[in-house]
Amino acid sequence: MRDTPDLWPIDLQTFLQDLYDSIQSNGFLLTVFRYKFTEPEIALNSLNGKPFLNNTELDSQNVGFRHIGAKHDSIGSVVHLFRNVSDYPKIPDKNNIININRDYKQWFGVLQERLIAANDADNQTDNVWLIANDSSINGIIGLMNCLRLEPGGGNWRYIFNYDSTGSPMDIDFNVSPYSDILANDLVANVVKEGKVGTYRHLRLPTDYDKCLSNDYFLNCGQIKDISGLQWYDLKNMPKIKHDFDDKHENHVKTKVEIYYAGVTFRDVLIASGRIPAPALQIVPDCTLGFEICGRRLDNGDRVMGFRMGRSIVTSTHINIKNITTVPQHWSMAEAVTTPIQYATLYYGLIKRANLQRGESILIHSAAGGVGQAAINICRHYGCDIYVTVGTEEKKQFLVKEYNIPVNRIFNSRDILFKNQIMDATNGKGVDIVINSLSGDKLDASYECVANNGRFVEIGKYDMFQNRKVGMFDFLRDIQFIGVSFDLACLKNPDLIQEYFDWMHKNCSNGCVKPINYTVFNASEAEKAFRFMTTGKHIGKVVIKMRDEEMDRQPLKAIKPAVDMMVTVKTYFNPNKVYIITGGLGGFGLELIHWMQSLGARKLVTTSRSGLKTDYQKFLFNRFHEFGDNLKYYSSEWLVSTADCMTIEGTQQLLKEAQNLGPIGGVFHLAVELNDRLFKNQTFDKFCSSIDTKHKIFANLDQLTRKLDYNLDYFVVFSSISCGMGNGGQTNYAFGNSMCERICEQRRNDRLHGLAVQYGPIGDVGVFEGMAENIALSSLAIQRIHSCCDVLDKLLAINTPIVTSFAFADIINQTISSGSKRQRIVAKVWRTLGIDPQSTPIDTTLADIGLESID
């Protein structure tokens, strides 16, 4: 090829000729051209004084190339694919054309014979063309993806006439588009809306799971780190008709539009993965937030209160017992600084530790939210106050704002405060310590408690670490009081009302006063959480969802929260029924649990035999017992043995489901694997796998379309074997492929339809325990919780067919890099299902107990 230092003087035609000459017969050329130019490009080129190169000048036909296709982007580039086709492929004779239609018997045997013959001839046969032109619901794509990977499938081609209306039509290779298809000599040819193309996996845009919303909540993402915090869409959350507390009492709820939400240290610890979510969290999918302030939608009142979990949020349905009106002299931002701080102290300090007038008290981290609240209460009780803080700035703050003498302010970052307290109290110690310090500082604090005193523990970290405290001090008649206001409320729901009464009584006498605060906008939530981890903040951190109006009277015209790009979110309607075919299988049992956590309460699973294994029975019983004990989770789960291979059986299933309520969705998981190379496959097994996938799905599609409402979800769990191919799975892929076409058709008809091509799934299901097989492929096992996380987002988007799998990227890097010896060792590890990345380089096979491989 000619070499030129300057791109512009290229003679395009000569250049193309060069390329043509250097590409072997049937080889491809991919070019990228500019088809329009930006202003700066035009300006720069005018300096150069050279003419523009334009792809319209490209005369590839003259050179000999076949133009296969072009793809334009919106910013001025076009990609052309050319092929050096020197020998025009001959028109296939009838023997080399196989019609793939619904009558599998017609073509199964022929296909098998042709494949065996091609294998015997080492693929040195003419191209075999598989043609599907009877219907748009055809599994030819999945079939061919697998056949190509089997012995003899090397030079097979297919045409899928998607536009066909059902009448078989003969393909005439002399007429366009079939003459072009023949000339291009490509494997996959799909004719759709008059155009020839193919199916490709395209990466979803990075923001595929985002939407614009003004109703959202904050939650931890997959990464248990503050950087994983995300806002999730709340718009589609269904209204729960009946909601119960742990006492089986029906909540009377009201909707509150939130203006401000408080952030607590507990939230920061959960978001950073340092502590797990609280044990009795009733909303398990989001445990962030506890204190809110906003306006009731029904009467416009300003209200404040508690909601455990999913409460850093723009709106919420809340138990009316958990809210109270905001005192007239407080703004909403001020009000939200009080609930958890004062409630914790009301419960821990006043009720449990029985605070008495004039007692001495040590308040740790006194510039924080609870610390300042404790100073206000203790001053109201005329206490003798000692405090600790972590920085000089905080010390100055307490001196200035609360008039605490400097000789009563100690350092919370070391344990010197212990001796200083003992000195200041003549060796007696203090009556009460309010502790939030951990480690050796907790021990030192514990020793500051005077005889008959109380140690009130409000920090959670050491509790989760199960840290031990010395029993010896109990000889001095001291009490250790662990405070968990949330658990106390679950046991005694009246506690919240009791606190509200106390708060209203004391909100004007100095005992309960708003705490100073720092406001962050919703878009700055991560910053707010990070701010709390620095240890520098003073007072409370609050997140603002919208500005408060000047008017403190009830207001019904509430301004919406600001629009933000948030993560889409799936919710299941507790009043609707969800059908899961094959729901007693590995994935199904996990799916049920996941759907329940997102609101589903009515489920029907199909099974040929009903509950069989001990594990299925255990989960089924646990599911019901859980609902009996906690009515919030009270759910119905019916196992139906209706045979959905038939229309009558499917009708029966729908009837059983409708007895529980309107049907919300179908999840088709039933699968029967009969894996075998196609040349060895039996006709019965071939059909059986296809029918389990396609017939059941088609029956459900046909009958649910006749309901007088549309389903929210109509989903099939397809497979990467269908999308990318896998030798030995032609039947499975064919069936999945047909289901995918049904999903496309449903989307065309403006109905929900989603096929998820999962890769191999770990932990449960048909591939469980088969890691070593996966080890040889380029795919890694996707954990079941990751499959559900992905599904959460995929259910909310508009694409009918999507793929979800984990690439064995890093592992393969190890296998393909390094010295020959290292590569072999890495391959062996991988074959044994061991991740070479995490295996020490000096480990030998003997180390893992494997001294010989037979």
- The residues binding ligand NAP (CB under 6 A) are 581-582, 584-588, 606-609, 669-672, 692, 717, 719, 758, 760-761, 765-767
Q: Which is nearer to ligand NAP, 621 or 629 (CB)?
A: 621
Nearer to ligand NAP, 306 or 587 (CB): 587
Residues, the chain: 854
d(CA 423, CA 428): 9
Kindly state the smallest distance separating residue 604's Cβ from ligand NAP, in Å: 13
How far apart, in whole angstroms, are the C-alpha atoms of residue 839 and residue 380? 62
Which 3-state string (H, E, C) describes 390-407?
CCHHHHHHHHHHHCCCHH
Report the nearest approach of ligand NAP to the CB of residue 580 (Å). Answer: 10
Q: Judged by CB, which is closer to ligand NAP: 390, or 765? A: 765
CB of 609 vs ligand NAP, minimal distance in Å: 5
Helix (H), strand (E), coil (C) string for 757-823: EECCECCCCCCCCCHHHHHCCCEECECHHHHHHHHHHHCCCCCCEEEECEECHHHHHHHHCCCHHHH
Measured from the CB atom, the residue of 139 and 588 that comes closer to ligand NAP is: 588
Is the Cβ of residue 415 or residue 703 nearer to ligand NAP in the bound state?
703
The answer for residues whose C-beta is within 8 angstroms of residue 432's C-beta and 6 or more apart is 349, 353, 355, 359, 360, 361, 362, 449, 453, 454, 455, 456
In the complex, least distance from residue 683 CB atom to ligand NAP, rounded to whole angstroms: 17
Minimum CB distance to ligand NAP, residue 364 (Å): 52
How far does CA 267 lie from the centroid of its chain? 20
What is the token pair recorded at 112? 């098998």
SS3 197: strand
65 vs 578 by CB, closer to ligand NAP: 578
Q: What tokens were used for 70?
A: 């072009």
d(CA 54, CA 34): 7
Residues 6+ apart with CB under 8 A from 121: none
For ligand NAP, the closer CB: 269 or 584: 584
CB of 644 to ligand NAP, least distance (A): 7
Cα–Cα nearest to 45, from 32, 58, 54: 54
Q: How far is CA 778 from CA 289, 732, 805, 815, in A?
A: 42, 20, 10, 11
Q: How far is the CB of 630 from ligand NAP (least distance, A)?
A: 27
CB of 840 vs ligand NAP, minimal distance in Å? 30
CB of 733 to ligand NAP, least distance (A): 10
Ramachandran angles phi, psi of 844, nearest 5°: -105, 165
Place of tokens 């389903």: 711
**Closer CB to ligand NAP, 253 or 783, in the complex:** 783
Burial of 207 (0-12, 13-18, 19+ CB in 10 A): exposed
- Amino acid type, 533: T
For residues 253 and 437, what is the distance between their CA atoms, to the nearest angstrom?
37
> Rounded CA gap, 540 and 692, in Å?
58
Q: Which is nearer to ligand NAP, 348 or 588 (CB)?
A: 588
Smaller CB distance to ligand NAP: residue 246 or 672? 672
Our CB check for ligand NAP shows the closer of 305 and 585 to be 585
Name the closest residue to ligand NAP (Cβ).
Answer: 585
- Closest approach, Cβ 774 to ligand NAP, in A, equals 9
- Minimum distance, C-beta of residue 822 to ligand NAP, in the bound complex (Å): 30
Q: Which of 227, 221, 259 is nearest to 529 (CA)?
A: 227
